[in-house]
Chains A and B, each alone.
Chain A
Amino acid sequence: MNGLIAIPTLQELLNYIVGILTSRTFLEMIIFPGFLNIMLGAAFLVWLERKLIARVQLRIGPLYAGMWGILQPVADGVKLLFKEMIFPELADKKVLILGALALMMLAVAPVVPIPFGEGFVIADMNIGLLYVFAVISLFPTVILLIGWGSNSKYSLLGGLRSMFQQVAYEVPMWLSVLGIVMLTGTLNLTEIVKAQQKVWFIVPEVLGFAVFFTAILAELERIPFDLPEAETELVMGWMTELSGVAFMVGFLAMYTKVYVMSALMTALFLGGWSGPSVIPQPVWFLAKTFLVASVMVIIRGTFPRVRVDILLKAAWGRLLLLALANVFVTAGLIWLGLGGIWKV
C-alpha cells in the first residue's frame, strides 16, 4: 500500500457491505420485527378493516384487486402516489409535509422493544415499556402541529380534540399497566412475556386490560372515540388538508399505530408469543395481534361515536378509578401470595 492509509480492495469493501447487510441486527431492523413487517402489517390492516367492516354492514367490500381484493391497499397507495399535492394558500406546507413524516416515524418507533418471538426483537431494552409510552406521548404535539399548519378550522378543531383526548387518556393508560409491573418487577417487554408462560396477564389483570384497551382505542382515535376525525362534522379532522403522498403517509401512520399498539397489547396481556410450540412463536404473536386489531374493527362497526363531555368524564371519572382499583386488586393478589406465578 502507498502512504499511511490502507485503501481497501474492492473485495474487502464488498465483504464489508455484505457483512452489514446480512447481520442479524440489520435484518431485524429491515425485515422481520422491523420495517417490512410493520408496513405489510399496516397495509394488511387497511384491507382487513375494509373487508371486516363490510361484512358487519352486510356488504362485500374490496373484491377485484387480487384475491378477495387483498391488493386494494396497494392500488390505493399507487393512486395516492400519482395524485397532486394540493395545499391551501395560507397553509404551512413545511409543517404539513414534515408533520406527516414525523407521524410515521413516531408510529414505527414503539416497535423497537416489542418481542415478536424469543429473540425476534430489535433492541431488548430494560425500559421497554417506558420507552413505548414516552414515544406515544409525543403524538399530540405532531397532530396539533398538522392541525395548526393547515390553517383550516376543521383541521384545527380536529387537532385540538385529538390533543385533549390523548392527554386525558394517557393517564389511565399508564396506570392500567402498573399491575403488570408490580407482578413482574420489570419494564422489559421480553421478560414480561416470559412471565406469562403459565397464566396470561389477561386473567389476573382483567380490569387493567379493559382500561388499557379503552385508553388505546381513544389514543388511536378510533370509533367510539373518533371525535378528532368525526367525518360528519369535521370532514377528516386534522387530516383534512393533507393530500396526495402526505395524506398517504399520515393515513398509513395511523394504521401503523393500530398495528403496533395491538402488538403491544398482545405482549402485555395476551401472553405474547406463548402458545403450543407446534406453530412457530412469531406466528402466534402475529395471530394474536391481528385478533386484537379485528376486535377493534368490529367495535368500529358496532358502536356510535360518544359525546365530548362523556369522553372526558369517562377518562377522568371512571377509567382513572378503575385503573387505581386494579392496582389495589393486584396488591391484594401479591398479599395473598399468588404473585409467585408470574415471577420471572
Chain B
Amino acid sequence: MPDPIFLVLSAVVVVSAIAALEARELIYGAVGLAFSLIGVAGIFLLLGEEYLAMFQIAVYVGAVVVLIMFTIMLVRRDSGRPAEEEEPGRLGRAGAFVAGLIALAIAAAMYLVIPYSAEMPILSEISLHDLGRTLASGYALALVILGLLIGATAVGALTLAKIEPEEERGGAA
C-alpha cells in the first residue's frame, strides 16, 4: 500500500492537470495549473527535497502562472470563451483511444522497468552549505552558463521593450 499522502497528492496533481486542460474559462485553467504545480511541490516535500519544493512554488506558481494569468487578462474577456463546443468526430475518438493506449503502455513499461517499493526513498537531508558547495564546485560551469543565458534573456527583453525616442515624442508615454 503506497503512502496515503502520496496518493492524495497524486490525485490532486492529476485532477487539477485535467481541469487545467478542460476548463472553459482560460483563467480557471491557469488556477488548475497552479494547483497541479503545488501538488508536484508537495510530492517533492514528501521525498525530502525541501529546497526544490519551495523553488517549485516560488518560480512556477509565483512567477510562471502569474505571467500566464497576466496574458489572459490582457486579451478580452469574451475571447477567452470557445465559440461553440464541437462534438468530437470519428477521428477525434480514434485519437483519444490511441492516446489512451500509449499512456497505458508507458505506465506498464515504467511499472516493469522501475522496481516498485512501497516505501518512499527518503534522500539524505541536504544542508545549505552542501548545496552551495556542490553548486559552486561540481556544477560551476553549468551555473555560469545558466547565468549567462538569463543575462542574455534579460538584455533581449530590455531591447524589445525599449521605446525609441521618436515614439516617445509621438505621445506614447
Contacts and interface: CB of A to CB of B under 8 A. Distances in A.
Interface of A: 125-127, 130-131, 133-135, 137-138, 140-141, 144-145, 148, 151, 156, 159-160, 163-164, 167, 170, 181, 185-187
Which secondary structure dominates chain B's binding surface? Answer: helix
Given A134-B62, A137-B63, A141-B34, A127 B51 contact: yes
Interface of B: 27, 31, 34, 50-51, 54-55, 57-58, 61-63, 65-66, 69-70, 72-73, 77, 125, 127-129
B54 A170 contact: no
Given A138-B62, A160-B70, A145 B128 contact: no
A141 B61 contact: yes
Contacts, number: 66
Nearest to B69: A144
B69 A137 contact: no
A185 B131 CA distance: 11
Contacts of B125: 126
B147 to A, nearest CB: 13
Nearest to B129: A185
A161 to B, nearest CB: 11
Given A127-B54, A130-B54, A181-B128, A137 B73 contact: no
Contact of B63 (A156, A167, A185): A167
Contacts of A144: 66, 69-70, 73
A164 B63 CA distance: 11
Contacts of A170: 62
A185 B57 contact: no
B64 to A, nearest CB: 11
Contacts of A181: 128
A236 B21 CA distance: 34
Contacts of B57: 134-135, 137-138
A187 B61 CA distance: 21
A140 B58 contact: no
Nearest to A149: B27
Nearest to B41: A134
Given A137-B63, A140-B66, 8 more contacts: A133-B54, A133-B58, A138-B62, A141-B34, A144-B73, A145-B27, A148-B27, A160-B70
Contacts of B128: 181, 185-187
A133 B58 CA distance: 7
A235 B61 CA distance: 29
A185 B34 CA distance: 31
Contacts of A135: 57
A163 B34 CA distance: 16
Given A127-B50, A133-B58, A141 B70 contact: no
Contacts of B50: 125-127, 130
Nearest to A136: B62
A30 B164 CA distance: 57
